[in-house]
Amino acid sequence: MNILVTGGAGFIGSHTVVALTEAGFRPVILDDFSNSEQGVLDGLEQIMGSKPIIYAENCHNRETLRRIIREEKIEGVIHFAAFKAVGESMQKPLEYYDNNLGSLIVLLQTMLECGVSNLIFSSSCTVYGEPDILPVTEETPVQPASSVYGNTKQIGEEILCDTVAAGNTLKIISLRYFNPIGAHPSAAIGELPRGVPGNLIPFITQTAAGQRASLTIFGHDYPTPDGTCIRDYIHVLDLAEAHVAALQFLLKKDIDNYYDVFNIGTGEGVSVMQLVKTFEQVSGQALNYKLGPRRSGDVTAVYADVQKSAEQLGWKAKRSVQQALADAWRWQQAIAQKTR
Ligand code: UD1
């Protein structure tokens, strides 16, 4: 079965292409490489044993979508393509609303026009803001977004919910990702941030590799056991497999109008300090870090209740944080070798 994967050359997208292939699907990548590198295609070929199918175009274009959906006989879509930098989204709100929501609307219209029913949408635990009760379930109230990026995820979910409620023949799942980390154990694909990484793990691995002088831990006076923030770090391959489980669930569903949201995390909260210490153990490297002030917009703690995804999708994260950090470190060393 042919599955369109928009943003399939990105971090989560590329790992999902591998998981889809392993599960017997035929992924068709649509990616304009605005925030990914062509080299990911070689990495995918190395893992999968054949060249990935790729359309190097922008997914905001109706003609492009129509042509690919028809040419490739697409039966389902996984929509990753989006801008994702929280800080940048505040500087460039119109670019973010246009790219993240404009492309979603065009995609939905084209799916309806071409008779494609199944869609998985990339949402984020950012919709829960600073939750009062942990872990967060899918019933936990959504909070007003604290960034334009977060707002594009919330509005994206609303667009999907409203579209399905209007009675179309669409079956849609929004997956609310917690913090994806790690890389493929082959070190052929992984996270490739451009410039100074905003996210914790690439900053840690680049510091350990000597590319950055030191990591700053943002805040050590939070009301948590060690004073640092708590997140739910999930191996990107577990996250990738959640997309396959969600797709299989949609394909089996024998109603033709459906929308729901699922948390995709491990269910375990890990602090920044615990993560740094675990990285040191796993890599055998002492990490140069210092304690710094809080980063604005960060929440104290968020981790997932994963009962709903386990019960309904039959999916659970299988890999440990240790394994994710070991894979991220192996990947970092592989990129350092390639660029040497
Ligand atoms: C961020 C976004 C989230 C988005 C996700 C995916 C915010 C508020 N949230 O999640 O919406 O879906 O990225 O990219 O930006 N940290 C440090 N030092 C660093 C970097 C991070 O201490 O140099 C800490 C942060 O304070 C945080 C934790 O590490 O406590 C994780 O940070 P990060 O990897 O940026 O993810 P989130 O902020 O959780």
DSSP one-letter string for 138-202: TTSPPPPPSSHHHHHHHHHHHHHHHHHHTT-S-EEEEEEE-EEE---TTSSS-----SS--SHHH
- pLDDT on residue 228: 98
Contacts of 179 (CB under 8 A, 6+ apart): 125, 199, 200, 231, 232, 233, 234, 265
| Element at 330 (helix H, strand E) | helix 321-339
Catalytic annotation, residues: 149
Ligand 1 atom showing the smallest separation from residue 126 Cα = 11
Q: Contact, 21 vs 48, CB < 8 A?
A: yes
Tokens at 309, concatenated: 């995804």
Give the residue from 173, 58, 176 showing the smallest Cα distance to 119. Answer: 173
The predicted structure's pLDDT at residue 340: 61
pLDDT at 128: 96
Q: State the distance from the centre of ligand 1 to the C-alpha of 152, rounded, in angstroms.
A: 17
> Which pLDDT does position 338 carry in this prediction?
77
How much distance in Å is there from the Cα of 102 to the middle of ligand 1? 26
pLDDT at 43: 98
Contact criterion met (CB below 8 Å) for 208 and 296: no
What is the Å distance from ligand 1's center to 288 Cα? 19
The CA-atom distances, in angstroms, between 107 and each of 91, 141, 156, 257 are 26, 28, 12, 17
pLDDT in tens, 199-247: 999 999 999 999 999 999 999 999 999 999 999 999 999 999 999 999 9
Residues within 6 Å of ligand 1 by CB:
84, 86, 124, 126, 150, 179, 198-200, 203, 215-218, 229, 231, 272, 295, 297-298
pTM of the model: 0.97
- Pick the atom of ligand 1 nearest to 292's CA: 22
Residue 202: cis peptide before it, omega within 30 degrees of 0: no
> Given CA atoms 81, 85, 90, 95 in this order, what sign does their dihedral have?
negative
Residues whose CB falls within 8 Å of the CB of residue 63, separated by 6 or more in sequence, listed in order: none
Q: What Cα–Cα distance (Å) separates residue 292 from each residue in 216, 218, 228, 286?
A: 6, 5, 10, 18
Share of the chain above pLDDT 90, in %: 95
Pick the residue whose CA is nearest to atom 35 on ligand 1. 199
* Ligand 1 atom nearest to CA at 180: 6
Which numbered atom of ligand 1 lies nearest the CA of 85? 14
Of the candidates 239, 267, 262, 237, the one whose C-alpha atom is nearest the C-alpha of residue 312 is 262
Ligand 1 pocket test: which of 177, 217, 298, 300 has the largest number of ligand atoms within 8 Å of its C-beta? 298
Structure tokens at 244: 């396959």
Instruction: Give the chain's count of helices (H) and strands (E).
Output: 12, 13
Ligand 1, residues 86, 136, 204, 276: which to mutate, most atoms within 8 A of Cβ? 86
**Separation of CA 208 and ligand 1 centre (Å):** 18
130 alpha carbon to ligand 1 midpoint, in Å?
Answer: 13
Q: What was the pLDDT predicted at 242?
A: 98
3-state DSSP helix/strand/coil % of the chain, to nearest 5 = 45, 20, 40
Name the stretches of the chain with pLDDT < 70: 340
